[in-house]
Chains A and B, each alone.
Chain A
Amino acid sequence: MSAIVVLIAVSLVVAVGFLAAFLWSVRDGQFEDDYTPSVRVLFDDTVADEEGEKR
């Protein structure tokens, strides 16, 4: 009996964790733009870029 209660509690905590992550990503606007990031990731970082990052 206690084993199943613990397991359910653990599984719910994990699931709630994923739900929270999802809700967070929605609020953060990750689903607003599903095209630009796919282009952005292909840009090369130049040396000048890194300097800019440090600034």
Chain B
Amino acid sequence: MTLIATLKPETKIDTHTCYHCGQPADREFIAFQDHIFCCKGCQTVYDILSSSNLGQYYCLNENPGVNRKESTPAEYFGFLDDTNVRSKMIVFSDAKRTRVVLQIPLIHCSSCIWLLEALYKLHPGIIKSQINFLKREATIDFDENKISLRELVELLSKIGYEPEFNFASLNKKAVSNPMKAYYMKLGVSFFCFGNIMLASFPEYLGLDATLEASNHRLFGFLNLGLALPVLLFSAQDFFVSAWNGLKQRFLNIDVPIVLGILVMFFRSLYEILSQTGAGYFDTMASLVFLMLVGRMFQNKSYNRISFEHDFRSYFPISAMINIDGNWRSMPVSEVKTGDRLLIRNMELIPADSILVRGDANIDYSFVTGEQTPVRHENGAMIFAGGRQMGSSLEVEVVKPVSQSYLTQLWNSDIFKTKTSRDTTALANHISHYYFTPVILLISFMAMGYWMIFDPTRALSAFTSVLIITCPCALALSSPFTLGNIVRILGKHGFYLKNANVVELINQTDALVFDKTGTLTKPDAAHVEFIGEPFTEHENVLVKSLSRHSVHPLSRRVFDSLPQAELIETEDYSEKSGAGISGKADGHDIILGSEKFAAGTLEHRTEKGESCVFLSIDGKMRGYFSIRTAYRDGFSKLLHGLKSRYDMYLLSGDNESEKVNLLHYFREGDKMHFKQSPAAKLQFISELNSKGLRPMMIGDGLNDAGALQEAAVGVAISENINHFSPACDAILDARKFEKLDKFLMLSRYGVKVMQGSFLISFCYNIVGMYFAVQGTMSPLFAAVIMPVSSVTVILFTTLASNLAARRIGLHD
């Protein structure tokens, strides 16, 4: 019985959670139709849904909704009325039907799917809607005569599913999924492979001698007919890749593959036309099929996670422009020099402008890395990329959007030329330096030998060598091993952009960490009040005062104080570098540095701690001790890594944390503070030019340049479905402490791959023994090549799974 009693308080009592969004509804809850709601927004959504007979939404999952406390004002979507924007958004349109594809990142459960696919019940103008859950995407068909695009988006926003719009989503062209063409190639090659095998059966079973000559020819031509689609359609990618390699004077792995395919095809063609043999079409088709399967493993990516977000994704796509005295929402591309813009709280400034009116408190962390917002006076220059924190601003644009400082910064070459990393892949490296030259040498030697001793066998020996050494197993080793590693890592919260990243990780020898948001938790800090505990009244006073400031320390203090009914404050003033003061309920409150709040300097601040002192009515009350909250397990992780890697720290912040981090980074000169995004990029370039292969681990847009420049860029993300800057890998923030295991598994993966290369070489040597003698039969080739491939696949899959288990990353 006691057990039950202790368990009970933990079970959720649902009278205190919002029926719509599931958030605690403590103070200002709204009771409506037997349910509790945390805010007006949630209740409205419930009202809309229940009156439209969509109550089932709440039955599929408990509290499925999205919190509606902060809703977007309706006029925000004004830019959707713009014909230019509309035409970019719409996929297809005719008189009755318009189709639009919207990104809705808030889709999170089956209720969402159900509701969004039942949209037609909410508005007669909506014909059909279909959700792709993994992509968080809604494809909606609607009748533009009954509902406009803007109204549609407003409706979605009203029920809590606000679509996401940004500069990049507007400018992307509807690209057909590359996987489609790929699946088709795979299907065709499988079909041809199977049927060629079937037609080759008489030969496998030794029945060909008993066959009539006409049947013999029939099977030959049938095989030829089936081999053509394989050569011309399915194998296309290999030809393209080999050609690209040759153009760069690089013999990548596809060069010997294409050589093998071509030799097989033409030798078989000759044999069939001249009636001298059955040809190698079966081997060719099975090879192409197997390698396409390998490609699938290599290219299998997480389509719900985007690795390609560039800075434009962060850019707003609309701005409120003052036209003839009215504020109108317009696309950012329409912003011209001299326009008046309205910038609201948390909005990015799209172009360099002059402040006309309002309290500018600009957070330039996207540009400079510094987190503390900067105050600006009227008439001051505000740069693009800054984010307004606080009340609305009115600014006048002085430079067009495209010429702004930020755009210039991010337009640097790094973001344009994605360096080709083909040459670094181990399989390609082996092919270029060893494999291709060696097989060419052997095949010519075999031909030369037989030219002297038995010229009739010369051509046969030459082609046999090229056929049997066609590096199918070699080419399959890396996609299967690395693909499996990518899959295991993905299961544990480390998402790689593609399989090649595993090899890149293996080559890294330096780790560069960002501090804020990477080593530390972005929104959490240990805040502790040292002094006599607060009364409830004092809590209200301090919380009300600290609410007005956007300084990070004030925000921390505000967030740490318990919920309270806030009151008005008078005579509020903020002194930069000192603190804030004001009057609330007749009490004078000062919050700030010791000198500012108490006029004395007695307290010794411990290392790694920031103090905010509080005085009420001139009496010292105590101080808030604020410590940066590092991620769980960060200390153990860094200790483990520092013995194996060269470690660096790049932070946009000041040096206050330097002492805390010193022993992880060994020397002080490996830690760099007050780094702007451009400086971070520069630093990585310097490491590159020193011959190091750095891995950059960062989180925000201010790391974007460094993430691109580094050999491997890892973006750390609290929510992998939210976008992160362009990078090679995304690390789920909750799995941060496992980073060393992830790196270790990548290393093992490359070892496994090397092992499988050895196996495939052994098969090649055996095959070569027969090939150089000019006595290889087509059946031998048809058996040994798939067998070698299957062995390699089995080996890599088992070995990489075993490696993962040993490290402690269970499947």
Contact = CB atoms under 8 A, between A and B. Distances in A.
Contacts of A4: 215
B188 A1 contact: no
Contacts of B457: none
Main secondary structure of the interface of B (DSSP, over half): helix
Nearest to A46: B56
B194 interface: yes
Given A15-B191, A15-B194, A23 B215 contact: no
Contacts of A32: 132, 177, 180
A52 B195 contact: no
A54 to B, nearest CB: 12
Contacts of A23: 184, 187-188
Given A12-B195, A27-B180, A52-B121, A39 B133 contact: yes
B183 to A, nearest CB: 5
B535 interface: no
- Most-contacted residue by chain B among A33, A34, A52 (CB, 10 A): A33
A19 B179 CA distance: 17
Contacts of A39: 110, 113, 133
Contact of B222 (A1, A8, A49): A8
A16 B222 CA distance: 14
A29 B135 CA distance: 14
A52 B133 CA distance: 23
B271 interface: no
Main secondary structure of the interface of A (DSSP, over half): helix
Contacts of A22: 187
Nearest to B107: A36
Interface string B167-205: 000000000010110011001100100110011000000
Given A1-B215, A19-B187, A36 B177 contact: no
B179 A31 contact: yes
B134 interface: yes
B130 to A, nearest CB: 8
B180 A26 contact: yes
Contacts of A49: 118
B218 interface: yes
Given A26-B180, A33-B135, A48-B121, A19 B188 contact: yes
A33 B134 CA distance: 7
A39 to B, nearest CB: 5
A20 to B, nearest CB: 10
Interface string A8-30: 10011001101100110011010
Contact of A33 (B118, B132, B198): B132
Interface string B319-342: 000000000000000000000000
Given A22-B187, A33-B135, A48-B53, A15 B218 contact: no
Contacts of A52: 118, 120-121
A1 B187 contact: no
A36 B215 contact: no
A42 B150 CA distance: 32
B212 A1 contact: yes
A39 B191 CA distance: 32
A49 B114 CA distance: 11
Given A40-B117, A46-B56, A26 B183 contact: yes
Nearest to B137: A33
B113 A31 contact: no
Contacts of A8: 199, 218, 222
Contact of A15 (B60, B133, B135, B195): B195
Contacts of B60: 43
Contacts of B195: 12, 15
Contacts of B179: 31
Interface string B107-134: 0001001100110110000000001111
Nearest to A32: B177
B214 interface: yes
Given A31-B183, A36-B132, 12 more contacts: A8-B218, A8-B222, A19-B188, A23-B184, A23-B187, A23-B188, A36-B113, A36-B134, A42-B110, A43-B114, A52-B118, A52-B120
14 contacts: A1-B215, A8-B218, A11-B198, A15-B194, A15-B195, A23-B188, A26-B183, A27-B184, A32-B132, A32-B180, A36-B131, A42-B110, A43-B110, A52-B121
Interface of B: 53, 56, 60, 110, 113-114, 117-118, 120-121, 131-135, 177, 179-180, 183-184, 187-188, 191, 194-195, 198-199, 212, 214-215, 218, 222
The 7 closest A-B pairs by CB, nearest first: A36-B133, A19-B191, A33-B132, A22-B187, A26-B183, A39-B110, A48-B53
Interface of A: 1, 4-5, 8, 11-12, 15-16, 18-19, 22-23, 26-27, 29, 31-36, 39-40, 42-44, 46, 48-49, 52, 55
